[in-house]
Amino acid sequence: DGGITQSPKYLFRKEGQNVTLSCEQNLNHDAMYWYRQDPGQGLRLIYYSQIVNDFQKGDIAEGYSVSREKKESFPLTVTSAQKNPTAFYLCASSIGGYTEAFFGQGTRLTVV
Amino acid sequence: KNQVEQSPQSLIILEGKNCTLQCNYTVSPFSNLRWYKQDTGRGPVSLTIMTFSENTKSNGRYTATLDADTKQSSLHITASQLSDSASYICVVSGESGGSYIPTFGRGTSLIVHP
């Protein structure tokens, strides 16, 4: 089945630790995105990548890092520099930036 | 600054009733507008996507309208069902330097009661 997969669904980490969230797609999409969603808030763009080996900062990139070594994969690392990492993280992909985006099921990260 | 405002913030209706959700935006230049449905704890799922030249698009019981002149869109849900309970998100994409970056609204939380 074609789709976009995020793992794990739930993640718990101690404060001060880096953690990497996985996002894989087999839709052959060029563009991939990471968003953060907090209760009562709209989705906010963290990073996006339009092609392999290239990515751009979104509105709230501080404390996060990404890589795009393969077309299918766009992992997000939440570093210890991120002040409020507890949130729901969503990954998306699209053929191009102007086309419909398909979302993964999200990863809920809790930092204790 | 590009903005997308949705109203109402939340809405409660009885099963079988119709409802309309609103979206106003200031994104420029405009590329497209999409409505997504997001169930609690899940990723958003696309309902409709409209470009500048389209002023209405339907997907089953969901009908979206777009007025590019006033920069307004609405999502009309007909004969609501319990499964329509979700957050509905308006997303507007604008072009900037060859990139098309979407701006998300905060969503309207819809609760359908039996």
* Residues in contact with B61: Cβ distance below 8 Å, sequence separation at least 6, in sequence order: B77, B78, B79, B80, B81, B84
In this structure, what DSSP letter does residue B84 have? Answer: G
Between vectors from CA B37 to CA B31 and to CA B42, what angle results, nearest 5°?
Answer: 120
Q: Looking at chain B, which runs of residues are DSSP E strands? A: 4-7, 10-14, 19-25, 30-38, 45-51, 56-59, 62-67, 72-77, 86-96, 99-104, 108-113
A96 and chain B in contact, CB less than 8 A: yes
In this prediction, residue B73 carries a pLDDT of 97
What would the pLDDT profile of A30-64 be if each residue is shown by its tens digit?
999 999 999 878 889 999 998 999 999 998 999 99
A110 CB near a chain B CB, below 8 Å? no
- pLDDT the model gives residue B29: 81
DSSP state letter for A41: -
Instruction: Check residue B95 and give its pLDDT.
Output: 74
8 Å CB contact of B43 and A44: no
8 Å CB contact of B31 and A90: no
How does pLDDT run across A72-88, given as a tens digit for each residue? 999 999 998 898 999 99
pLDDT of residue A1: 56
Q: How confident is the model at residue A97 (pLDDT cuts 50, 70, 90)?
A: low
CB contact, 8 Å: A90 with chain B?
yes
Residue B41 and residue A100: Cβ atoms within 8 Å? no
Residue A46: per-residue pLDDT = 95
Q: Tokens 């990723």 — which residue?
A: B43
Mapping DSSP to helix (H, G, I), strand (E, B) and coil, where does residue B108 land? strand
Our CA-based measurement puts residue A16 at a distance from the nearest CA of chain B, in whole angstroms, of 26
Inspect the interface and report whether the beta carbons of B99 and A43 lie closer than 8 Å: no
